[in-house]
Chains A and B, each alone.
Chain A
């Protein structure tokens, strides 16, 4: 039973080891691909088990909770693990076309698989210190992936990225230490009661703020997001896609977990702050994007803006809002990774990512144009794509609370998102190429195009499926939200008995 929870973490780790040993051979990339397929299978098995039995938990090394490390999967964790595996597989295919051999020989695939293992571990762990360890695994792997391939620009981005993220993990670690001092436990389920019964509730609120800042840097919320646009436009496109899809979402996931499970004593105060943080995040992100003319920089600022919607779902703290937040999380990973993939292929065809220096893609690569329209309009919230349902749920939740200002900002930000997406559309696809060249697909080798277009098409298909057939996904998100708001099942399955 416990191995269902272990395999999605263990498979990418083993793949990383084998792929590293084979890094100088062509076999390395196929091992990575096979590992990603196996990870997806392992995640699907986990999902099936969660759908079948509800929340499942396992005690590593047979040390009972709250003393050992617990792995636990509820609906939210399970869906995040599956979506991580899907993004991982898409990236593994995409990387076949993009990553040059000399970068492969440096151990690219090993680092990539380690990153996937770290992200999966963060979604599955039920132990706060273990969560910190997974954050570090992710940080080390992502820093190496950011600078791999060399170049001044990448190193500059990497240093900003790692410096600011180290600050965040330090705040997070001090928060863990202080929380352990108050409660005497690191197990998140056990902590729920211990925090509720703590004598010094003022200190608990202070700690909640520390965690909010620590996770906030990871999630890139206002005003802690500045590392993200400074770094996401430099690495390989496969890497920016997996970063854009997954890394910030780990921060959002951690916020959702801690602020529904542990820090629920003073919702009026903590979640009120979160509402304002979310609104500022949404607005500044989208305004920042409007000022950019680089394909990837626009997309990077949009990550920030969209993160605001997810934290807003958490901040409003009603079943409907959290349901929207969970739905948004899943939809956004697919869409955002896909947009970065498109940016990479557009660069292959047109030669650059600066929108002033490319154009004419609509005429010469209509398939790519069609595949861009799907995630771009989904991001902006066009019906009937997946983004529409995500935004609809959040806005409906805000309306139910009579939060008119929140509703207004959500809709305004949606409108501004359309502006940026049409800017990319107009400048990269419709306008003629400024150099007069015809950016035909022939400018990229056919095997490159093939391995890049498969993941783009696959993720676009998923967006359409969620858009046209949202019922099962919405129901799933509803159950996930119910579990988050009433974590009795979570606590019981971790600790074994009702405490």
Chain B
């Protein structure tokens, strides 16, 4: 698609959507959002970019091939789940460290494996969707 309006608007939109996808990722677990929905929005931002500038350009902007992103995400999610081994809990038990308190209400924020798992899901969805759509776009 060779529309100057679209490609000019895409520059703005893509960055905005990508930042929004990260926001959705970070807000997950306690509020609506999370890795899956974040990954979808992130994928859409790159799809818009590839529609505006072509899939070759979009691949370059992504830097790593989407298949690798998806597999890395799988590894991140799995390792986040396996972290509970060191705490003596079964697989995928969420490990929480509350900063400045001992629960969601009292603490300022938390460091936890659930977010790491969600980052993994985010990467799987982003990489998976992008490898599908790029394959389709490059074929035509």
Residues on A lying within 8 angstroms of B by beta carbon are 2-3, 6, 10, 13-14, 16-18, 20-21, 58-62, 107, 110
Contact = CB atoms under 8 A, between A and B. Distances in A.
B92 interface: yes
Interface string B65-104: 0011001101100100010010001111110000000000
10 contacts: A3-B90, A6-B82, A6-B91, A17-B74, A17-B75, A21-B72, A60-B90, A61-B90, A61-B94, A107-B67
A58 B89 CA distance: 10
A6 to B, nearest CB: 5
A137 to B, nearest CB: 11
Contacts of A3: 85, 90-91
Interface in B98-112: none
A18 to B, nearest CB: 8
A20 B75 CA distance: 11
B125 to A, nearest CB: 15
B90 A62 contact: yes
Contact of A14 (B67, B68, B78, B93): B78
Given A21-B71, A107-B67, A62 B93 contact: yes
Most buried by A among B72, B85, B90: B90
A223 B71 CA distance: 38
Contact of B90 (A14, A17, A59): A59
A60 B94 CA distance: 11
The range of chain B's interface size is 10 to 19
B92 A60 contact: yes
B116 to A, nearest CB: 15
B71 A17 contact: yes
Contact of B71 (A2, A10, A20, A60): A20
Contacts of A110: 71
Secondary structure at the A interface, as helix, strand, loop or mixed, is helix
Contacts of A18: 75
B90 A6 contact: yes
Nearest to A59: B90
A158 B11 CA distance: 40
B72 to A, nearest CB: 7
A385 B95 CA distance: 52
B93 A61 contact: yes
A18 B82 CA distance: 16
B128 to A, nearest CB: 11
A302 to B, nearest CB: 36
Given A3-B85, A17-B72, A20-B71, A61 B92 contact: yes
Nearest to B89: A62
A6 B91 CA distance: 7
Closest 8 CB pairs of A and B: A17-B75, A2-B90, A20-B71, A61-B92, A6-B91, A62-B93, A61-B93, A17-B71
Nearest to B71: A20
Given A3-B85, A17-B72, A10 B90 contact: no
A10 B78 contact: yes
A14 B75 CA distance: 6
Given A21-B71, A107-B67, A110-B71, A13 B78 contact: yes
A50 B93 CA distance: 24
Contacts of B74: 13, 16-17
Given A18-B75, A61-B91, 8 more contacts: A10-B91, A13-B78, A14-B75, A16-B71, A16-B74, A17-B74, A61-B94, A62-B89
Contacts of B89: 62
Interface string B105-140: 000000000000000000000000000000000000
A2 B92 CA distance: 11
A20 B89 CA distance: 29
A188 B36 CA distance: 28
Contacts of A10: 78, 82, 91
A16 B94 CA distance: 24
A62 B90 CA distance: 6
Contacts of A20: 67-68, 71
Contacts of A61: 90-94
B91 A21 contact: no
Contacts of B72: 17, 21
